[in-house]
Amino acid sequence: MSQYLVRPGQEVDLGDFDPDDTSLLPGGKAEAQKQLEAIVERLAEAQVLLFAGHQRPLLIVLQGMDTSGKDGAIRHVMRGFNPQGTRVVSFRKPSEEELDRDFLWRVHAKVPAKGEVVVFNRSHYEDVLIVRVHDLVPKAVWRKRYDQINAFEQMLSENGTVIMKFFLHISREEQRKRLQARVDDPKKCWKFQHGDLEERKFWKDYMRAYEDALSKTSTDWAPWYIVPANQKWYRNHLVGSIVADTLDKLRLKYPKCDLSNVVVE
């Protein structure tokens, strides 16, 4: 999976990453679906260990353009996680209360507790993406946020939080197809918003904003992965595999129990 990892200090050019790439799965969709079932089982077991040990929080950040598959990745990959120990958080337009505070205030309140898994469907990175593209704050403000985000994530990491960040990389043409599918399918049209068409006009601006965010905020403690996402099955395989491999490396174990004087009658 290292080919998708953004290394600290790496200058990202998204033109170097093919959103149609499926190179790790020559067997195609059938192979991916078979492997995904095993991955989901690994995730289920790892989450039990995480929850039982009550030591490490896990934060998964999903970012990407509209239709990139954030909801799909959550639905297909995270289904192995027990809902009792898992939360999905979606960050909408900030409220007046949130705007009266620093941009990370509302984010810090949603990070995982010990033993918990939290998935951010969009995140604090909107404050260097949409905020930048639409000039919602001065450049002098959002430019400082890269370092502020790195310091925030480092603090979480130093307190035990495991952080993984995924940019779901689709092409502009693939987004067009997916938006059209929403328009054409009565079962999907509820997802369509006219504002999605307006946002497409800013595609190049968003790509530049993402390149800067990926380049400036991929760290040893909170790495970014650029996931080719034109093929949904490949997206799911990569996200699931990376999360499972990362949890395996933690070598989580069940806590030891002192039951020497316990008698069940």
- Residues 225 and 261: their CA atoms lie apart, in Å, by 49
263 or 243, which is more confident? 243
State residue 51's pLDDT score: 94
- Residues 68 and 169: their CA atoms lie apart, in Å, by 7
State residue 60's pLDDT score: 98
DSSP secondary structure string, 141-165? Answer: HHTTHHHHHHHHHHHHHHTT-EEEE
Q: 261 — alpha (psi -120 to 50), left (phi > 0) or beta?
A: alpha
Give tens-digit pLDDT for 200-253.
999 999 999 999 999 999 999 999 999 999 999 999 999 999 999 999 999 999
Which percentage of the chain shows pLDDT scores above 70? Answer: 100
Tokens 């039982």 appear where? Answer: 52
Range of lowest pLDDT (50-59, 175-184, 193-202): 193-202
- Residues 127 and 137: their CA atoms lie apart, in Å, by 9
- Residues 149 and 124: their CA atoms lie apart, in Å, by 8
- Residues 265 and 263: their CA atoms lie apart, in Å, by 6
For the chain, list the domains and their CATH numbers. 2-249 (3.40.50.300)
* Residue 139 burial by Cβ neighbours in a 10 Å radius (0-12, 13-18, 19+): exposed
Residue 262 pLDDT > 90: no
Residue 261 pLDDT > 90: no
At 225, which helix (H) or strand (E)? Answer: strand 224-228
Task: State the average pLDDT for the chain.
Answer: 95
